Structure 1
Amino acid sequence: MKLYNKIKREPKDFIVEEIPILEPKEEGKYYFVKLKKSNVSTLEALRVISRLLKIPLKEVGFAGLKDRYAITEQYLTVPITYQIERKCFKLINNRWKEVNSVNFEKEMGFCLEVLGYVEKFLSLGDLKGNRFIITVKNFEKNMRERFYKNLEVVKSYGFPNYFGEQRFGSVKSRDDFVLRYLLKGDFDGALRSYFFGKSSVDYWGDWRRLYKTLSPALEEYEKDLIRGLMRGLTAEKAFRILPKNVRLMFNFAFQSFLWNEYLREYIEAKYPFERVPFINNWKLSYYTQVYDIDYLRKLEIPYTGHQFSPVDKTLKKIIKKVQQKYEIKKEWFDKEVGGMRVMTDGLRKAVVFPEELKILEKTKRTIKLKFSLPPGSYATVLLRFLLKV
């Protein structure tokens, strides 16, 4: 992917620091813990913590999922009934082991540090935002003029608040969303899509062969799922073996795709725009000029529109058009499927303005940026526009 030829060449090129809403105190019901990690996803680090420190995963609170290919700092809450202290872990010979320290610029691992105590359990979204320091490499001469021009657009008008590629981790091939199978009651198709996307596989149904082929690259819960199929579980019961936060990602991925389409169509209907490549051959459209920025700045776009019906007539038509295109049925809204409620409604801001946006360093081939974004906004979405890649 072209964007990643410019960023994330090394973990130190992409540094993320969570801006917490909680302040540690001297007493409280929960430990307030800083998790610093490199080359590890938040969920993987949490699974290791749960397994090695004997803390049930549901007892560990966290506010957001941070990038794997980065050096990140975020915060956790753990009930004081469990034992936790400063610890570091590294992946050595494919096994997680406790170590004295981690070289975050070169090694795959994470460290925990207890900062104090808090009264509140952290849940998703419980943060002020995220602070980024990003180094762009291969910053060629022909890119600079475009970069500085687009930087002025962002300073004046912000940028479209699209969901970034991290939101689509469960999409293995173009338009192949696990949730679309679930909504039709096709759990076998959902599992096939989960493991293979739209790729054809001639041994689907031969669960022992599937296990033998895939197991080296699978998470433990994915192995449990296939073992369940080997024992004769139905596809629906096997699907429920997946942790709920994984199952919910299928819903988030599809709804986020639809929401991105609403915003893209809205921008193209109202403003001068440029299309920029995204994942799976999708496109994102970025405005280059806005004549009603005070209005756009306040605009919120619903996920489905069945509970939060838009007043904006253009937006209302676009939501209807996109839902018709992807054959969305009203009976799917708030549907219970696979042990979760899906296609729920909500509101998300159409645009976001980065704060503290500045250039820290620049050379002939690199530029280092610093900025902060509110919860749920993506640095990679901003960078795609600035670099047009």
Structure 2
Amino acid sequence: MSFDPLSKIIGLEGYATDTNGIGGVLKSRTTDFRVEEISTPLHLDPRGRFTVARITLTNWETNRFCTNLARILSIPRNRIFFAGTKDKRAVTQQLFVIDANQNKVSQVEMPDVEIEILGRTHQKIGFGNHRGNRFTIVARGCSHSDGTPMTEQEAMAEVERIKAKLDQNVGKDLFPNWIGPQRFGSGRPVTAEVGRHIIADRWEDAVMTYLSMKGITENTDVENFRKFIRENGPIEEALEIIPKWLGFEKRMLEQIIRQPDDWVAAIKKLPNNLQLMTIHALQSIVFNKSLNARISADLPISVPVAGDLVGRIDEKGQLDAGSCIVVE
């Protein structure tokens, strides 16, 4: 069984069933992929400092949206809080907590952005508030293994067969929740590689990887910029050819030019959530590989066995690391 290069990099090298699947294409249209974030409730208070808004984005990368919103509101980027980073090519809905006047937020107009003001709060929101996502996904062009088109009825029948096989292989109503390409960078799985350098205290390597690592699918202008960095280093001339949409890379590059060798300061030019995601992405590769190994070894995915590390889930739905023990 062969796997594409991206799948191998991020640890997606196995299946839970031997079924053929339904083929098809995801995200053929932006509206084919809808994400509704599930987060912990916020306590609204009319005297609260922060504005709470439910915001629907169409084809917006979360961090880029926050950067633009901060500019419109004339506030620092780090005064906009949210729980999770969402897919760009999608219609996404999630809560944002914004350190700005409620009326000012309600007057913001941006293309493909819908803002619903919910009220005010004293609370911020962050990764710890994230509970999950509710997806509505359309797969187009479903086909049999020989390439012939499937009808909708045939596709749904195959889905039911896959579910039955999953019930048989991993347990009734269970699903191996592998972590997909978005966590790592779909066209350039760079986040985990940066995280690998950060945990080893190799900050220069982390910066150079983020700036110059080759992508699997990037356009010519971006490829040329990254090649220039690899061959010449982060020098001022690189600013002349950097594509304008590489905002994070530009800020990192400008920082290194201002303060050569201060690689930590350059990494800190990334938004806080993206800095954290580099570590989460590395953890996610470990998770994907561990899950695949567990299924391949015919071990249960929902029942602990000897050698597993188990712990208590707190009232926020997070693992209480201090309670973890090894199963004997």
* Fold shared, TM-score > 0.5 on shorter chain: yes
Q: How much does 1:224 deviate?
A: 2.6
Q: Does 1:84 align with 2:105?
A: yes
| Residue number in structure 2 paired with 1:134 | 137
For residue 34 of structure 2, the aligned residue among 15, 19, 23 is 15
Query: Normalising by structure 2, what TM-score?
Result: 0.69
CA–CA separation in structure 2 for the residues paired with 1:175 and 1:72: 22
Shift in CA distance, 141/263, structure 1 to aligned 2, threshold 3 Å: closer
Q: Does 1:148 align with 2:151?
A: no
Shift in CA distance, 224/19, structure 1 to aligned 2, threshold 3 Å: closer
Q: How much does 1:209 deviate?
A: 2.8
Shift in CA distance, 240/127, structure 1 to aligned 2, threshold 3 Å: closer
Q: Deviations over 1:148-182 (max 9, x none)?
A: 21123456242112222111129935997122333
Q: Does 1:295 align with 2:303?
A: yes
8 Å Cα contact 1:45/1:110 also seen in 2 = no
Q: Does 1:226 align with 2:245?
A: no
SS of the equivalent of 2:293 reads: helix
Q: How much does 1:226 deviate?
A: 1.3
CA–CA separation in structure 1 for the residues paired with 2:284 and 2:84: 16
Shift in CA distance, 306/263, structure 1 to aligned 2, threshold 3 Å: farther
Counterpart amino acid of 2:193? F
Q: Identical aligned pairs, as a percentage?
A: 24
8 Å Cα contact 1:86/1:111 also seen in 2 = no
Q: Does 1:161 align with 2:177?
A: yes
Q: How much does 1:131 deviate?
A: 2.1
Shift in CA distance, 110/5, structure 1 to aligned 2, threshold 3 Å: farther
Equivalences for 1:43-62 in 2 at 5 Å? 43-62=63-82
CA–CA separation in structure 1 for the residues paired with 2:114 and 2:127: 21
Q: Does 1:182 align with 2:190?
A: no
Q: Deviations over 1:7-51 (max 9, x none)?
A: 111111111122343267572413220111111011111111111
SS of the equivalent of 1:264 reads: helix
**Any unmatched runs of 5+ in structure 2?**
8-21, 216-226, 312-318
SS of the equivalent of 1:159 reads: coil
Shift in CA distance, 23/194, structure 1 to aligned 2, threshold 3 Å: closer
| Residue number in structure 1 paired with 2:277 | 249
Q: Deviations over 1:222-258 (max 9, x none)?
A: 3232123223421524333333322222211112111
Shift in CA distance, 308/36, structure 1 to aligned 2, threshold 3 Å: same
Q: Deviations over 1:192-232 (max 9, x none)?
A: 2112226865533261232222243311x432321232234
Shift in CA distance, 64/263, structure 1 to aligned 2, threshold 3 Å: same
Superposition CA RMSD, Å: 3.6
8 Å Cα contact 1:171/1:253 also seen in 2 = no
Q: How much does 1:125 deviate?
A: 3.8
Counterpart amino acid of 1:228? Q
**Any unmatched runs of 5+ in structure 1?**
91-108, 272-291, 313-389
8 Å Cα contact 1:203/1:210 also seen in 2 = no
Query: Normalising by structure 1, what TM-score?
Result: 0.59
SS of the equivalent of 1:261 reads: helix
Q: How much does 1:186 deviate?
A: 3.1
Shift in CA distance, 25/239, structure 1 to aligned 2, threshold 3 Å: closer
SS of the equivalent of 1:137 reads: strand
- Which one has a larger percent strand, Structure 1 or Structure 2? 1
CA–CA separation in structure 2 for the residues paired with 1:166 and 1:226: 24
CA–CA separation in structure 1 for the residues paired with 2:23 and 2:254: 36
CA–CA separation in structure 2 for the residues paired with 1:77 and 1:190: 30
CA–CA separation in structure 2 for the residues paired with 1:118 and 1:246: 25
What number of residue pairs does the alignment pair up?
A: 271
Q: How much does 1:265 deviate?
A: 1.1
For residue 46 of structure 2, the aligned residue among 5, 13, 27 is 27
Q: Does 1:40 align with 2:67?
A: no
